[in-house]
């Protein structure tokens, strides 16, 4: 993060604006909306800017800029096309530790002005750090269409009731839960549609009569997908943002973890081969204990929690202890990694079925029904198969799968570091050995792998190895 985002209270605060043209007028409009008192220094000042200054109770100096113009100001903006003057203003303000912005010159700025979506009192600021202002404006345009103007009414409703909610609930967690219930429920819909009196009545009823369930705990079992955060479901994102504590696995990507509520407690419970940070039985019990403490617990897993994720074991204990829970499916690694590798798992010319297979069982011995797996007209996807790759290939050949069967090992699938290693059952082990492959990986076996070179769309110029 190149800039720390901050909102300044400029009401009745004097702000210095150097320049009087169109750009200065645009900056003056924003300062005026924030309640600032404008001091403008320029030889020529646009009529609009004159009106803004007069309305703010400010002043205009029709002359050259002087160092003492900064006296009494809390903010400075230089909006001229004179580079030397802009540099001087910047230096003078920095010497006094006063925030300064030089329009379209980030190097001379101590702060930058973002693109703004104004739904006052809700205000959204978007910044590219001065590197791509047009992109920031395009993002602003998207948000303008997604967030109706009525959100201002909703924010006003929350502001009106804020103190009473604070008096009703001593705990910050309870207040947060109350507002999440209100802002995602019928009261919010009433406010957005302009029925503010009805919204206030329902809010009051919820506050004083229906708030008893705010202390109850719950567990969210959420699939985090194979790594790319854009593959998360909308429901997953919503629950990730309202959890009090998150238990997460090794396969949950950093990019996905960035979307978890920032002040949530985080507990790492990941596992590697022969190395478990916390035994599964302890994880199961911890979910119960935290929920019984009244916390909303996010159990975040890579891929899908019900496909080799042991999610069923975890919610069994929750059910036995009468803990409420929700399950949110995720895109499993087989679907995500194969799609990003350009390998369709089924294809009418190559494979009429697909099997998802664990690379190891509880005993670490892949005791599978190999004659069935050796059938030609199917695709096999092995999870956690890297350590036993040689055994898998040899056993498939021994049970009748053609040695020339195409295979692919996808490393870090769906992430920018993704690599796809392609070979056959006789060559893939040597290929992997030469490439220093590390988990997470997914092993795909079948004729559908032949399509990889043709359909590889995700960074195809540098990601494939054979």
Which residues fall in the annotated binding site for NAD(+)?
22-23, 43-44
| From 118, 271, 391, 447, active-site residue | 271
How far is residue 13's CA from residue 35's CA, in Å, rounded to a whole number? 8
Known binding positions for S-adenosyl-L-methionine: 226, 302-304, 307, 332-333, 384, 413
- CB atoms near residue 244 (< 10 Å): 20
Is 11 in the active site?
A: no
- CB atoms near residue 153 (< 10 Å): 21
Dihedral angle computed from the Cα positions of residues 163, 167, 170 and 171, in that order, rounded to the nearest 10 degrees:
-40
Closest by CA to 445, choosing from 413, 460, 423, is 423
Is 249 in the active site?
A: yes
| From 69, 244, 249, 424, active-site residue | 249
Known binding positions: 22-23, 43-44, 226, 302-304, 307, 332-333, 384, 413
Residues 6 or more apart whose Cβ sits within 8 Å of residue 155 = 119, 120, 121, 122
Task: Report the half-sphere exposure of 459 (CA within 13 A, side-chain side).
Answer: 12
For the annotated catalytic residues, the residue numbers are: 249, 271
């Amino acid at each position: 993060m190149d800039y720390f985002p901050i909102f300044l209270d400029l009401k009745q605060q004097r702000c210095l604006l150097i320049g009087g043209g169109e750009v200065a007028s645009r900056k003056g409009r924003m300062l005026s909306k924030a309640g600032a008192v404008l001091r403008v220094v320029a030889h020529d000042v646009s009529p609009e800017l004159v009106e803004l200054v007069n309305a703010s109770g400010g002043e205009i100096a029709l002359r050259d800029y002087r160092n003492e113009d900064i006296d009494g100001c809390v903010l400075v903006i230089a909006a001229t096309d004179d580079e030397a003057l802009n540099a001087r203003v910047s230096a003078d303000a920095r010497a006094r530790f006063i925030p300064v912005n030089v329009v379209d010159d980030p190097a001379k700025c101590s702060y930058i002005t973002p693109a703004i979506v104004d739904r006052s009192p809700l205000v959204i600021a978007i910044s590219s750090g001065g590197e791509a202002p047009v992109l920031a404006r395009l993002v602003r345009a998207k948000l303008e269409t997604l967030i109706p103007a009525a959100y201002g009414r909703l924010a006003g409703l929350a502001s009106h009731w804020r103190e009473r909610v604070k008096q009703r609930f001593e705990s910050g967690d309870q207040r947060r839960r109350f507002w999440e219930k209100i802002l995602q429920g019928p009261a919010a819909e009433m406010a957005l549609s302009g029925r503010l009196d009805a919204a206030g009545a329902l809010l009051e009823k919820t506050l004083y009569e229906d708030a008893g369930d705010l202390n109850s705990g719950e567990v969210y079992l959420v699939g985090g997908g194979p790594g790319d955060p854009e593959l998360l479901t909308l429901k997953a994102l919503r629950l990730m943002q309202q959890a009090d504590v998150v238990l997460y696995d090794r396969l949950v990507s950093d990019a996905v973890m960035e979307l978890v509520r920032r002040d949530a407690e985080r507990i790492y419970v990941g596992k590697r081969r022969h190395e478990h940070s916390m035994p599964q039985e302890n994880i199961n019990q911890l979910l119960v204990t935290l929920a019984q403490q009244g916390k909303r617990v996010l159990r975040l897993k890579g891929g899908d929690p019900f496909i080799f994720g042991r999610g069923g074991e975890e919610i069994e204990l929750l059910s036995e202890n009468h803990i409420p829970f929700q399950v949110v499916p995720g895109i499993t690694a087989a679907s995500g990694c194969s799609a990003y590798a350009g390998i369709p798992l089924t294809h009418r010319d190559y494979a009429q079925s697909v099997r998802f297979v664990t690379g190891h069982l509880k005993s670490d011995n892949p005791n599978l029904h190999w004659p069935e797996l050796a059938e030609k007209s199917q695709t096999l996807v092995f999870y956690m198969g890297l350590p036993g790759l040689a055994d898998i290939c040899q056993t498939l050949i021994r049970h009748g799968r053609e040695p020339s069967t195409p295979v692919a090992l996808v490393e870090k699938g769906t992430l920018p570091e993704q690599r796809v290693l392609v070979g056959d059952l006789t060559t893939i082990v040597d290929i992997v050995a030469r490439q220093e492959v590390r988990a997470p990986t997914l092993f795909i076996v079948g004729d559908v792998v032949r399509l990889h070179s043709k359909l590889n769309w995700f960074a195809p110029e540098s990601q494939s190895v054979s």
